[in-house]
Amino acid sequence: MKKALILTGFNPYSYSGGIETFTKALISLIELSNIKTEMICASDFSNTYNLYHEFIGQVYTAGRSLLSIRSGTYDFVIANGYYGGGYLTKNLKTFTIFHSTHTGYADAIKGFIPLSTYLEIRYIIGELLEQSCASGARIIAVSNRVKSELEGYYGLEDIEVIPNPVDTSFFFRLHDKEELRNKYGIPQNQKVGLFVGRWEISKGRDIVERLMHELNDLFWVGVTSTGGEASPPEGENITTLSGLNMAQMREIYSLSDFMLLPSRYEGFGLAAAEAMASGLPVIGSPVGFLEGIYLKTPFSAMSIPIALPDKNEIIAKIKDSIHKLFSDENLCEEISEKGRDIIVKNYDIAVWQERMKNILCLN
Amino acid sequence: MSELNDIKYEFPDIERALILSPHPDDETLGCGGTIALYSKRIDFTVIALSDGEAIDLPEDNKADLRKGELKDAMKILGARDIIFLHVPDGQFRQHRDEIREKLTGLFILKKPQMVFSPSLFDSHPDHIETAIACIELVERFPSIKIVFYEVYNPIRFNTLIDISKVVETKKEALTKYHFSMLKKEDIFISSILSLNKFRSLFTIKDSYYEAFWIHNTIRGLPDIINWFTYSISPPSPEDRLLSAIRVADSLVYQMRTAEGEVKEKDSVIRHLTYDLNKKEEIASDLQNQIHLMEESIFWKFARKFHSIKDRLLPEKSLRRLLYERIIFVLKNRLF
């Protein structure tokens, strides 16, 4: 029986996040082709080489452990971005999937983090680990944006773009909104804004936090994933949820009126794609796959600038977009319908499965 | 010192050799003694790749001067055949193809058994280029052996030629290079003879030696580098990555520690600034109170009274005595 190895950061069955969702879909796809998958998670390794940064040490140790694997043990290896760091001499057929570039990520949040953190993300994770992951591997980027970053920052070539998948047969708008709101204790008479992601500066948590206070006539739902840098604020008009499964996420998308995604950086932006598949308008910055979406009508009305340190302009733009959305029912409905169409056509899991099968030669 | 056993002290029995000299004087510095010793037996052709015109001297005809010096030196050492290739001095890298083409022609024409070249590890870029060109050409002429000689850097060697008998001849030849040695030939001569003397460390015999590496079985640049560096294996790509990560990780750690210290100091400064502002507020309040007091009628009256007190109550007058008595009583009662 054929065997594949997946090299990732965290166990996708214990942690929640975009890469973890992707990894689960990947495992299902490979196993459908009757190939056994094994997984190496950096978080399970110790920092054998005693680096000051514990997790970077774990990532390097995990990647380097592949050197002791005999050629032929696995038919292929798939590494999720820099989690393959330390696996430099690729003695196995390897695919490296870049969900983002840390160089791009670091540059996007440069003004918001200490210089040491910026340098660590940009040079150690980006320039050193990510570049080493790309060396000798077939490179896949999850969006055109990530592809252009890989080309621009690292000079990489021959990059295949395969956008992340959304199961559009699962993510669609549920119509029992009233019941769903009752289930989660969310008022019926208020418009609901949704934030999904790690509660951190790169996701624009400072923007969301301010809006939660300033627009207190709205009700805010924050769905946070593992590994945020702070806790969302508390308030009468705010509810925070975490550790939700896909079925619950579908319910949350369906009970909300819009999603707010003021991210400073996204490689793809899976939550936004799931929300759009669920018919939810997304007010967001042109990051990840949204970069192309927001160039088109009617979505351009929902586009906000990528958050700069001066937040006033962005806040005003978000308020304007919310106003447009709620004052024009037709616009809201058009965005909802066309949004789902785009996801079904371009990002459905069936499209992704076909493209992944081709590149991994699973057919 | 086991490799001492493998060192040869005689030059191989050959008839023809080319000596590649990147600039006039390199050949005499590196192998002048050997030329003098063997010129009767071996037909040496000295090939000056450049005319040495880039030397830092004010003279106009630097190339001619240096070429003349080479000819004079070779007369002393006994090498009669001299060829100038006129490659621009200091630009060998940009003229790689030209060098290879010219040398190929000479290899075919002269049919040398050996080619002398400065070593790969000589610090002058033209010397390194000469060595690389030589290695590449010898791959195409495998019967020719390379002989690396020393100029600016000592090398790992496998042949030591005792030049004690001809050291004065080498010295005399070197003295011909007045311009080539920047008019400081004494320094050049004493330095190169010190290098020749230094090799006595290996022989434990008070003598002068020119050291060479003559390649026998090793072929190609990687093997040659490997030999010169005592086969020290380069680190694996993973180790090189780890080393880079370690350096960056340590620097980030130090920076993060420094940022923490700055943050702590900032916090102290904030507290001190807060205290200072509070104290300034108190001082300002007191100042205001003083100002109000100074503006009061009583204060104005008191000041006026004091300014005219001596006129109203002259010293030692009855009024003054009475006044002082009243003040005394009031003070005692009040305080």
> What is the ipTM score, two decimals?
0.87
Distance CA A83, CA A61 (A): 10
How, if at all, do strands A192-197 and A219-224 pair? Answer: parallel
pLDDT tens digits for range B78-103: 999 999 999 999 999 999 999 999 99
The residues in B 250-309 lying below 8 A from A, measured between CB atoms, are 250-253, 255-256, 259
Window from A155-159, B15-19, B234-238 with minimum mean pLDDT: B234-238
pLDDT tens digits for range B118-134: 999 998 999 999 999 99
Distance CA A63, CA A5 (A): 12
B236 close to A (CB below 8 A): yes
Asked whether the beta carbons of residue A52 and residue B249 sit closer than 8 angstroms, the reply is: yes
Which of B238, B241, B249 lies closest to A53 in CB terms? B249
Task: For residue A125, list chain B residues with Cβ-Cβ distance below 8 A.
Answer: none
A161 and A13 assigned to the same domain: yes
B234 to chain A, closest Cα gap in Å: 15
Q: Between A and B, how many CB-CB pairs are < 8 A?
A: 59
Residue type, A90: K
Closest of A355, A192, A362, A340 to residue A274, by C-alpha: A340
A214 and A283 assigned to the same domain: yes
A202 and A142 assigned to the same domain: no
Distance CA A356, CA A359 (A): 5
A336 and A354 assigned to the same domain: no
Find the angle CA(A131)-CA(A198)-CA(A108) to the nearest 5 degrees.
50
Residue type, B32: G
CA distances from B193 to A213, B37, B156, B175, B200 (A): 84, 16, 18, 13, 12
Calculate mean pLDDT across residues B300-309: 89
The residues in B 41-60 lying below 8 A from A, measured between CB atoms, are none
CA distances from A10 to A225, A240, B45 (A): 13, 23, 69
A190 and A334 assigned to the same domain: yes
A335 and A222 assigned to the same domain: yes
Residue at A131 is within a domain:
yes
A125 and A269 assigned to the same domain: no
Closest of A110, A21, A87, A91 to residue A352, by C-alpha: A21
Asked whether the beta carbons of residue A53 and residue B246 sit closer than 8 angstroms, the reply is: no
Element (H, E) at B77: helix B62-77
- The confidence score (pLDDT) of residue B51 equals 97
Task: For residue A48, list chain B residues with Cβ-Cβ distance below 8 A.
Answer: none
User: How far apart are the two ends of chain A, measured CA to CA in Å?
Assistant: 15
Task: For residue A52, list chain B residues with Cβ-Cβ distance below 8 A.
Answer: 249-250, 252-253
Residue at A170 is within a domain:
no
Q: Which two tokens stand for residue B242?
A: 């780890």
Full residue range of the structural domain in which residue A7 is found: 3-165+348-360
Torsion A84-A88-A93-A96 (CA) sign: positive
Q: Given a cut of 60, is residue B328 above it in pLDDT?
A: yes
Task: For residue B242, list chain A residues with Cβ-Cβ distance below 8 A.
Answer: 49, 60, 64, 86
Q: Structurally, how many domains does chain A consist of?
A: 2
A128 close to B (CB below 8 A): yes
A57 to chain B, closest Cα gap in Å: 9
Residue at A171 is within a domain:
no
A296 and A207 assigned to the same domain: yes
A207 and A152 assigned to the same domain: no
Distance CA A120, CA A1 (A): 41
Find the angle CA(A353)-CA(A354)-CA(A360) to the nearest 5 degrees.
85
Q: Which two tokens stand for residue A86?
A: 């330390």
CA distances from B275 to B188, B261, B265, B289 (A): 70, 21, 15, 21
Find the angle CA(A116)-CA(A120)-CA(A124) to the nearest 5 degrees.
155
Asked whether the beta carbons of residue B241 and residue A49 sit closer than 8 angstroms, the reply is: no
- The confidence score (pLDDT) of residue A341 equals 96
DSSP secondary-structure letter at A258?
A: E
Residue at A172 is within a domain:
no
Asked whether the beta carbons of residue B245 and residue A114 sit closer than 8 angstroms, the reply is: no
Distance CA B235, CA B239 (A): 6
CA distances from B174 to B34, B75, B183, B189 (A): 14, 12, 12, 7
Asked whether the beta carbons of residue A88 and residue B241 sit closer than 8 angstroms, the reply is: yes
Give the pLDDT means over successive 10-residue stretches in chain A (363 positions). 94 86 93 94 95 96 92 93 87 93 95 94 96 93 95 96 95 94 95 94 92 94 82 89 92 97 94 96 95 93 81 91 94 96 95 94 84
Distance CA A264, CA A229 (A): 15
Distance CA A347, CA A32 (A): 20
Distance CA A76, CA B320 (A): 115
**Cβ atoms of residues B17 and B167 within 8 Å:** no
Window from A35-39, B113-117, B137-141 with minimum mean pLDDT: B137-141
CA distances from A342 to A37, A278, A302, B332 (A): 32, 12, 15, 98
**Cβ atoms of residues B161 and B9 within 8 Å:** yes
B247 close to A (CB below 8 A): no
**Cβ atoms of residues A339 and A74 within 8 Å:** no
A306 to chain B, closest Cα gap in Å: 28
pLDDT band at B3 (very low <50, low <70, confident <90, very high): low
A320 and A334 assigned to the same domain: yes
Task: For residue A53, list chain B residues with Cβ-Cβ distance below 8 A.
Answer: 249, 252-253
CATH classification at residue A196 = 3.40.50.2000
Calculate mean pLDDT across residues B60-81: 96
B264 to chain A, closest Cα gap in Å: 14
Averaged pLDDT score across all residues of chain B: 93
Distance CA A182, CA B228 (A): 80
B96 to chain A, closest Cα gap in Å: 29
Q: Which two tokens stand for residue A87?
A: 């696996």
Task: Indicate yes or no: pTM above 0.90.
Answer: no
DSSP secondary-structure letter at A288?
A: T
Q: Which two tokens stand for residue B58?
A: 């004010």
DSSP secondary-structure letter at B236?
A: P
CATH topology of domain B2-234: Rossmann fold (3.40.50)
Q: Which two tokens stand for residue A168?
A: 């559009």
Higher pLDDT, B309 or A287: A287
pLDDT tens digits for range B282-298: 999 999 999 999 999 98
Residue-wise DSSP of B205-225: SS--EEEEEE-SS--HHHHHH
Distance CA B145, CA A67 (A): 41
A200 and A140 assigned to the same domain: no
- The confidence score (pLDDT) of residue A298 equals 94
B243 close to A (CB below 8 A): no
- The confidence score (pLDDT) of residue B1 equals 45
Window from A105-109, A167-171, B197-201, B224-228 with minimum mean pLDDT: B224-228
A128 and A99 assigned to the same domain: yes
Residue type, A125: I
A48 close to B (CB below 8 A): no
Radius of gyration of chain A (CA): 20
